[in-house]
Chain A
Amino acid sequence: MARKTLLLTTALGLGWAASAQAQTEIGMWYHGAGNEVESAIITRIVDDFNAGQSDWMVTLESFPQNSYNDSVVAGALAGNLPCILDVDGPVMPNWAWSGYMQPLAIDASLIEGYLPGTLGYWDGELYSVGLWDAAVALYARQSDLDAWGLRTPTLAEPWTQEEFMAALDAARADGRYEYALDLGMAWTGEWYPYAFSPFLQSFGGDIIDRETYTSADGVLNGDAALAFGEWWQMLFAEGYAPGTSQDPADRDSGFNEGKYAFAWNGNWAAVPTLGAVEDVVFLPAPDFGNGPTIGAGSWQFGVSATCETPEGANAFIAHALQDEYLAAFSDGIGLIPSTPGAAAMTENYAEGGPLEVFFGLSAEQALVRPVTPGYVVAAQVFEAALANIANGADVADELDAAVDAIEADIERNQGYGHDG
């Protein structure tokens, strides 16, 4: 028995060595460990690539999403990053600035027609490209909208703040729901800046001044931001939405179970909801005065700076950018494919598909989060400020403190490479 195992191991080892001789190995890290469907698709892409040419051999390693960024930073500090990296859109500038990534060298024709949120530019160069984007919408029930006599908002004519608040009031007056609106406060982390900074932008504020990227004063604590903060605090103080201690299980299934009348949620949660709530409709973000916005930019592929075979890494990324794979990811886990061509091939985003609206949202309303290496820290400051305001902290003080924290961090990093 033991001998048999030994023989088998030797055979496998030899087989591996033989193929490695023919093809140069390229490491790749991916954030989707634990998700079977996602793993199956990415493995398929890798296998197709490895079988389709004889120069390169991509080996895939998957990490759980929660610890992925830490793993990359640790890998970078220890000097053993793989060639191909998977990177969250807003984090990319931080890694590029830190010198962990190199610009992509793929043909421009390959990314023609890609949704703007799926292309990661830093310092004028393309560093990362995504096979999909994500979008956020206001989940609602058509029967409720009809019962409460609410106008169905459209991309061209979204709800105004008054209409939105009227809808929440109607939901609350109805009495069937525990809360009128589920914002997803249980999802700590990147969800806060991703999902809520668009509200701030729609009010006319922002996390950082995008003109210079070196200050936040007047942007995150200006009049527009104060108005946003007061509105935000009111949502919790008046009991429209569950606060930071929301049970994560309620966030995941509360809307589907009828606990919440409206939910502010991403397209990735839409497929289960379609099955649970028959008349669900996905409404575009309300316009709080400065135009409606939602966040853009999801996970993307890039090449590490230490990669010795960037040709191979670029070849793989070019290979992955096929409508067929974009569509596979979309069908598998409900993401928005990056191109109209791929969208047409999917079940959900094709014309007349149940999630088609999200493609329009991504194309029309999406605004990428501030493109700066300082975003990583600014996002955490923003998250803390929103949590504190929701819990009753003084709005002006909290936003002022956030501005100070963000500016202090920018200063400590000598402007993050932006010319002040």
Chain B
Amino acid sequence: MASKLTTSNRAGWGFALPGFGLIAVFIVLPFFFAFYFSLTNQRLISPNPTEYVGLDNYRSLLGLAVITLEPERDDAGQILRDADGAIEYPRVRTITRSDDFPQYRGMREWFRWHSGDTARVVIASDVVFMKALVNTFLFVLVVAPVQAGLALCLALLINQRLRGINIYRTIYFMPVVVSIVVVSLLWRFIYDGNDGLLNNLLSALSFGAFEGRDWLGDPSTALGSIMAMSIWQAVGFHMVIWLSGLQTISPTLYEAADIEGANRWQTFRYVTWPGLRNTAVLILIVITMQCFALFAQIDVMTNGGPLDSTQTLVFQAVERGYGRQDISGGSAISVILFLIVLSISLVQRWLTRGR
């Protein structure tokens, strides 16, 4: 192996050099910088010298704890209730800002649940980061299978010898070619709460029964809206990859299946799907990585809002590094993201390994 790469292969290395060089300078080097910066207190601009801070940045991102709140009681020991009858608890801040609990300093409530009269509160050092983490995973879990499945359906549909089929291929592929920023801007108009296209359409289809929704302004629909738009935007790209996979399957297999009397589902199940195995692995990994990198849609459409319901890891990394001039915090998020994507890729490789 080594001899093949080194012996009489100067021309090969020479050809590879520009590519390797650019990758080294713009990807490998910044990658190591991110590791290094995440262990310091590097600022974007500052006259203060950069100091090594160990894992502080990671601690301030990942810190989690559960605290138990006892209900407020009056002098007689009765539980205090507010006007609605809900039990009153002391404010979390009385603990997180108290000198008695230095380990909880600076932490904030993420969510809480009740067991009996006591409330258990999960507090996090960085609630926004935690929300970004959850949102990103949610996005991947929904978009990866739906987008891959939809792309496969489209690929099967256009993998036919029909007159003008190329027109359909072009139409489905078009959103991929348009810049994601432009697409995001257009969808912002589509989702507009007052007289957006989607609201008008739904209202017309339901004969006016549908009341307009503020799709991007409502925490319960914002992330879903961005998912739908993202699936639509990139589905054409994966359709083409599926299509290339479909066209590598030998027609003789289909003929044989035909002679055996296989129906369409059996043909798909026993001929098409096994033939697409490698394509499926590739698509799954590519979509997963693209989903983790979700940024442009958020930046253009919601800026992470409303109520942090559309925060994502990459958006947070950029927001911190440049917006809040905290390069070290942004770098730490990038490193965490890298580790997540790496481990998921490894797991996917292992799950889909050839047996």
Which of A95, A397, A413 contacts B48, CB < 8 Å?
A413
A76-B44 Cα distance, complex, nearest whole Å: 10
What 0/1 pattern do residues 387 to 420 of A give for CB contact below 8 A with B? 1100111001100110010001100111001000
Is the C-beta of B63 less than 8 angstroms from some C-beta in chain A? no
Is the C-beta of B303 less than 8 angstroms from some C-beta in chain A? yes
User: Which applies to chain B's interface (DSSP): helix, strand, loop or mixed?
Assistant: loop
Is the C-beta of B308 less than 8 angstroms from some C-beta in chain A? yes
A381-B216 Cα distance, complex, nearest whole Å: 21
Is the C-beta of A188 less than 8 angstroms from some C-beta in chain B? yes
Which of A94, A243, A401 contacts B45, CB < 8 Å?
A94
How far in angstroms is the closest Cβ of chain A from B330?
Answer: 13
- Cβ–Cβ contact B217 & A388, under 8 A: no
Is the C-beta of A247 less than 8 angstroms from some C-beta in chain B? yes
A391-B326 Cα distance, complex, nearest whole Å: 26
- A244 contact set on B, CB distance < 8 A: 217, 305-306
Is the C-beta of A322 less than 8 angstroms from some C-beta in chain B? no
Within 8 A of A (CB), among B212-261: 214, 216-217, 219
- A400 contact set on B, CB distance < 8 A: 93
A99-B48 Cα distance, complex, nearest whole Å: 10
- Cβ–Cβ contact B305 & A412, under 8 A: no
Q: Which of B21-29, B317-325, B342-350 contacts A (4 or more CB under 8 A)?
A: B317-325
Within 8 A of A (CB), among B188-204: 189, 192-194
- Cβ–Cβ contact B109 & A397, under 8 A: yes
* Given contact pairs A244-B306, A388-B307, A413-B43, A70 touches B194 in the complex (Cβ within 8 A): no
A392-B219 Cα distance, complex, nearest whole Å: 10
- Cβ–Cβ contact A396 & B91, under 8 A: yes
For B323, the closest partner residue in chain A by CB is: A380
Which of A73, A95, A380 contacts B324, CB < 8 Å?
A380
- B106 contact set on A, CB distance < 8 A: 404, 408
- Cβ–Cβ contact B194 & A401, under 8 A: no
How far in angstroms is the closest Cβ of chain A from B90?
Answer: 13
- B93 contact set on A, CB distance < 8 A: 397, 400
For A411, the closest partner residue in chain B by CB is: B106
- Cβ–Cβ contact B308 & A388, under 8 A: yes
- Cβ–Cβ contact A99 & B306, under 8 A: no
Which of A76, A95, A377, A387 contacts B306, CB < 8 Å?
A387
Is the C-beta of A98 less than 8 angstroms from some C-beta in chain B? yes
Is the C-beta of A376 less than 8 angstroms from some C-beta in chain B? yes
- B217 contact set on A, CB distance < 8 A: 243-245, 391
Interface centre among A95, A244, A396 (most CB of B within 10 A): A244
Within 8 A of A (CB), among B84-116: 91, 93, 106, 108-109
Which of B91, B108, B189, B322 contacts A401, CB < 8 Å?
B108
- Cβ–Cβ contact B324 & A98, under 8 A: no
Within 8 A of A (CB), among B289-307: 303, 305-307
For A373, the closest partner residue in chain B by CB is: B46
- Cβ–Cβ contact B219 & A245, under 8 A: no
- Cβ–Cβ contact A377 & B48, under 8 A: no
Within 8 A of B (CB), among A168-211: 178, 188
What 0/1 pattern do residues 8 to 46 of B give for CB contact below 8 A with A? 000000000000000000000000000000000101111
- Cβ–Cβ contact B194 & A250, under 8 A: yes
- Cβ–Cβ contact A100 & B45, under 8 A: yes
- B354 contact set on A, CB distance < 8 A: none
- Cβ–Cβ contact B194 & A377, under 8 A: no
* Given contact pairs A245-B193, A247-B194, A404-B108, A409 touches B303 in the complex (Cβ within 8 A): no
How far in angstroms is the closest Cβ of chain A from B60?
Answer: 8
Is the C-beta of A1 less than 8 angstroms from some C-beta in chain B? no
What 0/1 pattern do residues 104 to 147 of B give for CB contact below 8 A with A? 00101100000000000000000100000000000000000000
* Given contact pairs A245-B306, A376-B325, A397-B109, A413 touches B46 in the complex (Cβ within 8 A): yes
- Cβ–Cβ contact A393 & B47, under 8 A: no
How far in angstroms is the closest Cβ of chain B from A229?
Answer: 15
- Cβ–Cβ contact A77 & B214, under 8 A: no
How far in angstroms is the closest Cβ of chain A from B256?
Answer: 57
- Cβ–Cβ contact B108 & A98, under 8 A: no
- Cβ–Cβ contact A76 & B216, under 8 A: no
- A100 contact set on B, CB distance < 8 A: 45
How far in angstroms is the closest Cβ of chain B from A260?
Answer: 12
Within 8 A of B (CB), among A220-249: 243-245, 247
- B48 contact set on A, CB distance < 8 A: 413-414
- Cβ–Cβ contact B47 & A97, under 8 A: yes
Interface centre among B214, B308, B325, B326 (most CB of A within 10 A): B325
How far in angstroms is the closest Cβ of chain B from A413?
Answer: 6
- Cβ–Cβ contact B324 & A391, under 8 A: no
For A69, the closest partner residue in chain B by CB is: B322
Within 8 A of B (CB), among A98-142: 98-100
- A396 contact set on B, CB distance < 8 A: 91
- Cβ–Cβ contact A98 & B47, under 8 A: yes
How far in angstroms is the closest Cβ of chain A from B166?
Answer: 37
- B91 contact set on A, CB distance < 8 A: 396
A244-B45 Cα distance, complex, nearest whole Å: 30
- Cβ–Cβ contact A247 & B308, under 8 A: no
- A376 contact set on B, CB distance < 8 A: 325
How far in angstroms is the closest Cβ of chain A from B193?
Answer: 6
A76-B325 Cα distance, complex, nearest whole Å: 14
Which of B43, B194, B306 contacts A391, CB < 8 Å?
B306
- Cβ–Cβ contact B108 & A73, under 8 A: no
A400-B189 Cα distance, complex, nearest whole Å: 35
How far in angstroms is the closest Cβ of chain B from A350?
Answer: 40
- Cβ–Cβ contact B45 & A73, under 8 A: yes
* Given contact pairs A247-B192, A380-B323, A401-B108, A388 touches B305 in the complex (Cβ within 8 A): yes
- B127 contact set on A, CB distance < 8 A: 401
- B305 contact set on A, CB distance < 8 A: 244, 387-388, 391
- Cβ–Cβ contact B45 & A76, under 8 A: yes
How far in angstroms is the closest Cβ of chain A from B315?
Answer: 13
A374-B106 Cα distance, complex, nearest whole Å: 19
For B48, the closest partner residue in chain A by CB is: A414
Interface centre among A244, A245, A387 (most CB of B within 10 A): A245
For A245, the closest partner residue in chain B by CB is: B217
How far in angstroms is the closest Cβ of chain B from A236?
Answer: 10
A118-B352 Cα distance, complex, nearest whole Å: 65
- B44 contact set on A, CB distance < 8 A: 73, 77
For A404, the closest partner residue in chain B by CB is: B106
In the A-B complex, the 9 residue pairs with the smallest Cβ-Cβ separation, listed nearest first, are A245-B217, A391-B306, A98-B45, A391-B307, A377-B324, A99-B47, A245-B214, A245-B216, A400-B93
Return 26 A-B CB contacts under 8 Å, by A number: A70-B322, A73-B45, A76-B45, A94-B45, A97-B47, A98-B45, A98-B46, A100-B45, A243-B217, A244-B305, A245-B217, A247-B192, A247-B193, A377-B324, A380-B323, A380-B324, A387-B306, A391-B305, A392-B307, A396-B91, A400-B93, A401-B127, A412-B326, A413-B43, A413-B46, A417-B47
- Other contacts beyond A245-B306, A391-B219, A404-B108: 6, CB < 8 A: A73-B322, A99-B47, A244-B305, A377-B326, A412-B43, A417-B47
